[in-house]
Every structure is written in C-alpha cells, then in structure tokens.
Amino acid sequence: MTRKVADCRKAPSDINCSLTISGEEHEVIRAAVEHAVSAHGHEDTPELREQLRGMLENEVRPESDGMRFVQLIEFKTHRKDEINQLMDEWEDRTGGKRTATRAVLTQDHEQPDTYFEFVEFPSYDEAIHNSNLPETDELSHRMRDLCDGEPTFHNLDVVRAEAL
C-alpha cells in the first residue's frame, strides 16, 4: 500500500506552517487532525477529517526517486488552456486517491500544438489502479474531446533514473 503525505505548505495558513506528516493513511489523518486542532485552532469534526483526507498525496520514496513506471502520453491540441484546466480539475478531484506521483506536461518546441505528458508511478500496478479511477476515466474522455486526433500512450518501465 502506498504511504500518504499531508503537507501544511500546500494549504493556506496564517502561521506559514511547514509541517509534513507521512505514514499509512489512518496514521496521517490522526496526526494531521491533532496538528490542525493544536497548531491551527480547528475543531475536530468529520468535515475537517474529510478535508484533510482530500489533501493527502502519495509519498515519493527518496531511495528510488519514487519512480518505477512512466506513462508517456503524446497528443495534439490547439486548446492548451482547456487541457490545463481539465488537469487542474482532475488533480483536485483525485486528491488522496490518485497513485500518480508526478506529472510533467511538455510542448514540442518545433510543433507547438504537439504535447507530451510524462506521468510517474511507483509501479505498473499503481498506474493501473490510477487508470481505473472514475475521475481518470472521465478525464480521458474529456481530454480526447479537446485533442486533434487520438492521443498515443506509451507504458514504460523505468530501468534507470538519476538526479543530475
């Protein structure tokens, strides 16, 4: 099971809190609630717990750079702003559920309507889990409507990754 992370830096805060909590989901929620109550003055309510659960992200393991599998998606569109808006919406809706650990969207320098998105996962199985999310299925259909032709998907096992 993928460990979860709650990072205060990603939430608005009057005290500029920088605390990060990681562990199994139930552990992170328990600790994040305690922190939200003691440091931020929130009340322990079901709504607070649900909000915190929505902020959770998958932990990236530093020893492997968190990346063992990459999906490369090539697509053409002249509707970049709508694609970006769609991706932002997907990120908001899949917080705490998605297994993708990182996404990089690139634009071909010589062919400005051609894009490549690299989506990183801890494993192929985690990528399949992510693909099976209803939100991901919806994203895929809506993205195809914004593309000029069908996107091309490449499923790639990472054999070497280095920080240079």
Model pTM greater than 0.85?
no
Half-sphere exposure of 86 (CA within 13 A, CB side): 19
- Distance of alpha carbon 86 from alpha carbon 148, whole angstroms: 16
Query: What pLDDT band is residue 11 in, cutting at 50, 70 and 90?
Result: confident
Tell me: the pLDDT tens digits for 26-41? Answer: 999 999 999 999 999 9
CA geometry: angle 152, 158, 161, nearest 5 deg: 120
Vertex 35 angle, CA 32 and 41, to 5°: 120
Rounded distance, CA 49 to CA 116, Å?
36
Whether 54 shows a pLDDT value over 80: the answer reads yes
CA distance 95 to 107: 25
Alpha helices in the chain (DSSP H): 25-40, 46-55, 80-94, 124-131, 134-146
Q: What is the pLDDT, as a whole number, of residue 83?
A: 94
Query: pLDDT, tens digit, for every residue of 113-156?
Result: 999 999 999 889 999 999 999 999 999 999 999 999 999 999 99
* Greatest alpha-carbon span in the chain: 53
The confidence score (pLDDT) of residue 10 equals 80
- 21: closest CA among 11, 39, 37, 35? 35
Intra-chain end-to-end CA distance of the chain, in Å: 29
